[in-house]
Amino acid sequence: MPDAISSIRNLGPAMEQACARAGIDSAEQLRALGTDAAYARLLRSGHQPHFISYYVLEMALQGRPWNDCRGDEKARLRARFDRLKAENTPETNAMDAILNEIGVISANRKVR
């Protein structure tokens, strides 16, 4: 029987449920996908983008404490997160698309 996603350090029931909605059903599948592919699937399944959930997933898959990353490594993670978010979440509305096009806001911003 495959291991539950919550068997990975730092990942609990909420991440397990989000992964299930994205079609990721086991710790082995999550590890095989890796952080970026898994998070992209989460975003496409409707998971709200949040840097901390991305960051925790990366640290968990490395077997590290969730708050172990700092400085340049954290900045690189933020850049990866922003790219994933931009590529895997739709524009919120027409106004955001226009504001992004003229450079007033980033395409990565999500307005509710």
User: Range of 85's domain?
Assistant: 5-101
- 81: CATH: 1.10.150.20
Burial readout 46-65 (b: 16 or more C-beta within 10 A, e: otherwise): ebebeeebbbbbbbbbeeee
Total count of domains within the chain: 1
Tell me, yes or no, whether 112 lies in a domain. Answer: no
Tell me, yes or no, whether 67 lies in a domain. Answer: yes
Tell me, yes or no, whether 108 lies in a domain. Answer: no
Tell me, yes or no, whether 51 lies in a domain. Answer: yes
pLDDT value, residue 94: 65
pLDDT value, residue 100: 67
Taking the chain (112 residues) in consecutive chunks of 10 residues, what is each chunk's mean pLDDT? 95 96 97 98 93 96 94 96 89 65 63 42
Task: Give me the helices (H) in 45-103, please.
Answer: 51-61, 71-88, 94-101
Tell me, yes or no, whether 106 lies in a domain. Answer: no
Tell me, yes or no, whether 109 lies in a domain. Answer: no
Contact 36, 61 (CB under 8 A): no
- 49 is written with which tokens? 């983008």
pLDDT value, residue 110: 46
Tell me, yes or no, whether 87 lies in a domain. Answer: yes
